[in-house]
Amino acid sequence: MIITLYTKGTCLVYFVLSLSLLCFDFHPCGSFNLDVDKPSVFSGPDGSYFGFSVDFFQPPNKQKSDVLVGAPRANTSEPSNVVERGAVYSCPWRSSRCQQLVFDNSDDVPMEFKSKQWFGASVRSHGEHILACAPLYQWSTFGVSEREPVGTCYLKKGGTVVEYSPCRTRANSPEGQGFCQAGFSADFLKVGHCFLSPGQLISDDISEIFNRFSRDYITPYGNTLTTKSASAQYDDSYLGYSVTVGDFNDDGKDDYVTGVPRGDKAMGYCSSFMFSFLLFVSLIDLLVGAPLFMDRGSDGKLREVGQVSVFLGRGGFSFHPSQMLTGTEVYARYGSAIAALGDLDMDGFNDVAISAPYGGPDHHGLVYIHNGRPRGPDPSASQVLQGKWASSYMPASFGYSMTGNTDIDQNGYPDLIVGAFGADKAVLYRARPVIGVNATLDMTPQIINPEEKTCTIPSTTFRVDLILDRLKQKEATKRVLFLHSRTFQYSKNMTVSNGRGPTCEEQPVFLRDDREFRDKITPISVVMEYSLDYQQAADQSGLLPILDMSAPSNITKQAHILLDCGDDNICKPDLRLSVKSDRQQIYIGDDNALTLEVSAENQGEGAYEAELHVYPPQQADFTGVVRSQTLTRLSCAYKKENQTKMVVCDLGNPMKGGTKVLAELRFSVHQLSEEDTSVNFELQIVSSNQFDNTSPRVSTTTKLAVLTKVSIRGTSSPGQVLLPIANWKPREPPVVGDDIGPQILLVYELLNNGPSTFSKAALEVKWPYHYRNGSLLYITSYDTEGPINCTTDMEINPLNVSNPVTPEKNNTLVPSRDRETEGRNRNHVRKRDLESRDAQSDLQTLDCSTAECLRMKCLVGRLEKGKNAILFVYSRLAVNNFLRVNNRSYVVQSTASFSVIEIPYKKLEFDLPSNSTTVRHEHTQAYALAWVGGGSAVLAGLLLLALLIFIMYKLGFFKRVRPPQEDCAEKEQLQPEENGNTDA
């Protein structure tokens, strides 16, 4: 989103020139007059992005008019550990040679990271001042916090350069400064202010920036105007992506306008802010670019063509309905940059340049010039500037940056600078005069050099060092600073003359804002250290004096911060604390969420640096603070103290008397050991007060419980067998499993659903194996998986039959098709439709009450949450025992039961679970006819049948009279199939 302003009816002062002289040398008066034949082309280092930003530089004396060009990826010529520091070049418009301006040549330090900082991404000038910014400059607060791209800028006035970094703060977390990125957009105000964005609009007085500059990293300003940080719903909205200034409501106060291209659900919008700056202009129009705007073409498809919205002002914050200037080329990004040109053709209406940096036949970029008209800009461009410079590694991006409305050659017409950073070029298009026009440039204040004072007195000289807040470590925040330098140290050589009295000097010191530090109790210690300058104290022979050893080498004084604690300035709080857990018990093995309901109260005087210390057990992790309108918003974080992990919450500095804090803290309790019986949280309020600085330590205990949800499941594969089996014959004695009958696989699974663990469980399976003096389900083998061991009360596979295929385990409890058909006879009978037969048949259940059962007992070992133990039993259905009875269906039913007999938690009481399940297997007997023989025999039979029918027909067999008969239902012919198929 690009926005710009231009004014109607701006008053200009003209110089009278000869009209006849001008008409011979320039284009006719009716045409636009930017010189495209002989533009001034400035080049920068390859790959430096020279031309990323451009501006005019025209000091008040007008003795030197240059073009300023930013190259954010340039490397400096001087040796440095900074890579791609970025640079700003000054290019005299009469020459193609550019000179790099020196703003900063310092190296990276632990707190500053200047490599690839994109210095020169924003370059602006105002009178004798030049503002150049590095929006990707990174800052780590005193080297102890993470890097934050806060950005920084430099102000140059003549030979004086000062750094201006308003987003750099003392905050040691991203929340303190991460939303501010100074220098992405920047501009000057006509009242001697500069302002920066995005994320936050910041404006400061230029003179104050120069006057207060010091080597300290953090420089507060007294006249700073800034917007507040937005709420979370405006994150990533790109507030301040583009900015401009104007007096929209004509109240004499400057108003800011900023683009928010990702606001309003990424549709984009503009916001205005009102600050108190005097600025007198006429009605202001607003142009807003949307280079990613999509329009539907004649074919109805969306095309990205870009668009510029024109809002003509009609007084106050009121605008006429917007006019649209829409691009014509796809992906040209029309509206990427907008530049106010001033009145180029001197018709009384200001003109505007709009770029499409990827337009043109070769996509080198285009710039459209639109003339101003009484009702807004002409929708048709009067002139199109075409980029002629290519790049070998990226698009030339001609028109990505533009600046106009400045008469650099002082011919009375505003000129235009166009940047093409992809080709490392900047192009100056000078306006050719049409009619004799003279322009004036307002004078800015005179250059003021800072006063320098030096003093030398021949006598004994001492080196004096003053250190403020000495009790605070160097990396800690110093609560007081010297006023002149904004530092906590001051050093000076002081001369003391013998017999002339003491040498004195006053140094003002100021106390920081109390929001910048926490400790208000500890005395502020000021130490003065002094030492003799021996070289200057030596006599003519070189003899060095020595200080009296009995004299101290330093002097310490203390000051106290005035507290609201009565006449004695000593605060005695009365801290009280209570806590309650929202759960009476939690389960071992589970990820238990637990909330502590905390009530903290101070019924005495103020408690400074008051903190709530929570000492959780090692099995608990702090997950956050419950947010609610009825609860106090606390800021909590982990902290280690003497290898002890604790959660520290800020209760206020101070926590005033009468304050009551209600909060809820969430924890996750896990990884409990088998020896634990409870979890205990201890809490205490701690302050930095000298007396009564802690509350009594309180605790809350939550009991541990055991919960083991154990389930048992069983399945049979196949679930149904159809008898008789085609071409099956009994064999005595059986040799292989198929001689007995089809294989039946039964699977039993014992699963611990948790959350707790059990150590031992008993599993018992009752298996019908003998029926009618014969075998029922003959067990050939069994197998296990997991911590389970099984025994039986009878011998397994006494006939020692073998299986033709080695059985495989089934881990999913649902036997696969391959496993279902293991060891089957390929000539089993397939049923086609036995629903009616099954309904009429007599279904008999064979279980331990009607058949003899084999008992299999298993001992299951330790099972944690989600673990299981599986028993696989492989058997053969004794077919011969069922063929004695026709048309009878049976259900063979086995039973499995379990009981947990031991848990690993010796100190906890627990109800041992138990349960059982049954597994059903059905087999059905039916008669079936099967055709047996080869294909040739069938064909011969059919031919013989046809011959017999023909002979009988000739003999009149079919004409004989037959007695009536009742209808008989045809019997369904059954086809052979593998045993166990249950599909109808």
Query: Using alpha carbons only, what angle is made at residue 307 by residues 303 and 313, rounded to the nearest 5 degrees?
Result: 160
- Please tell me the predicted confidence (pLDDT) of residue 940: 54
The full 3-state SS of 932-954, as one line of letters, equals CCCHHHHHHHHHHHHHHHHHHHH
Look at residues 860, 857, 731 and name the one whose alpha carbon lies nearest to residue 788: 860
Whether 563 and 503 have beta carbons less than 8 Å apart is answered as no
- Please tell me the predicted confidence (pLDDT) of residue 600: 93
Whether 774 and 880 have beta carbons less than 8 Å apart is answered as yes
- Please tell me the predicted confidence (pLDDT) of residue 664: 92
Paired sense of beta strands 592-602 and 575-581, if any: antiparallel
Whether 863 and 770 have beta carbons less than 8 Å apart is answered as no
| Residue located via tokens 């930013």 | 70
Query: Using alpha carbons only, what angle is made at residue 263 by residues 260 and 265, rounded to the nearest 5 degrees?
Result: 155
Domains within the chain, CATH numbers bracketed:
1-11+433-453+461-563 (2.60.40.1460), 52-246+248-280 (2.130.10.130), 282-431 (2.130.10.130), 575-705 (2.60.40.1510), 710-802+843-925 (2.60.40.1530)
- What span, in angstroms and rounded, lies between the C-alpha atoms of 285 and 530? 65
Look up residue 612 and give its two tokens.
């709530």
| Residue located via tokens 């005035």 | 562
The residues near 168 (Cβ < 8 Å, ≥ 6 apart) are: 139, 150, 152, 177, 182, 217, 218
How many Cβ atoms sit within 10 Å of the Cβ of residue 573?
27
Whether 908 and 705 have beta carbons less than 8 Å apart is answered as yes
Helices (H) and strands (E) in the chain — how many of each?
8, 63
- Supply the DSSP symbol for 977: -
- Please tell me the predicted confidence (pLDDT) of residue 538: 58
| Residue located via tokens 């408690």 | 607
The per-residue pLDDT for range 187-240, each reduced to its tens digit, is: 877 656 666 666 677 888 888 888 888 877 888 888 888 877 666 666 666 676
Quote the strand ranges of 603-686, DSSP E.
Answer: 610-615, 620-625, 636-641, 644-652, 660-669, 678-686
Paired sense of beta strands 425-429 and 415-420, if any: antiparallel
The per-residue pLDDT for range 951-965, each reduced to its tens digit, is: 777 666 665 555 444
Look up residue 366 and give its two tokens.
């285009």
Q: Which stretches of the chain drop beneath a pLDDT of 50?
A: 1-31, 272-282, 435-458, 541-542, 806-807, 810-841, 926-938, 963-984
| Residue located via tokens 């949307």 | 290
| Torsion sign over Cα 273, 277, 283, 287 | negative
- What span, in angstroms and rounded, lies between the C-alpha atoms of 698 and 703? 17
DSSP-assigned beta bridge partners for residue 69: 54, 89
- What span, in angstroms and rounded, lies between the C-alpha atoms of 117 and 505? 42
- What span, in angstroms and rounded, lies between the C-alpha atoms of 248 and 260? 19
- What span, in angstroms and rounded, lies between the C-alpha atoms of 757 and 706? 8
- What span, in angstroms and rounded, lies between the C-alpha atoms of 797 and 875? 9
Q: How many CA atoms lie within 13 A of 229 on its CB side?
A: 13
- What span, in angstroms and rounded, lies between the C-alpha atoms of 600 and 656? 12
| Residue located via tokens 């994150």 | 235
- Please tell me the predicted confidence (pLDDT) of residue 675: 74
The per-residue pLDDT for range 767-821, each reduced to its tens digit, is: 888 887 778 888 888 899 999 999 988 888 888 888 765 445 544 444 333 333 3
Paired sense of beta strands 366-370 and 708-717, if any: unpaired
With 0-12 / 13-18 / 19 or more C-beta atoms within 10 angstroms meaning exposed / middle / buried, residue 342 is buried
- What span, in angstroms and rounded, lies between the C-alpha atoms of 371 and 377? 6
- What span, in angstroms and rounded, lies between the C-alpha atoms of 703 and 909? 12
- What span, in angstroms and rounded, lies between the C-alpha atoms of 572 and 563? 12
How many Cβ atoms sit within 10 Å of the Cβ of residue 115?
16
Cα Rg for the chain, rounded, in angstroms?
47
Indicate the pTM of the whole model: 0.44
Whether 465 and 528 have beta carbons less than 8 Å apart is answered as yes
Query: Using alpha carbons only, what angle is made at residue 570 by residues 567 and 575, rounded to the nearest 5 degrees?
Result: 125
- What span, in angstroms and rounded, lies between the C-alpha atoms of 217 and 205? 18
The conformational region for residue 300 under phi > 0 = left, psi -120 to 50 = alpha, else beta, is left
- What span, in angstroms and rounded, lies between the C-alpha atoms of 338 and 350? 13
Residue type, 482: F
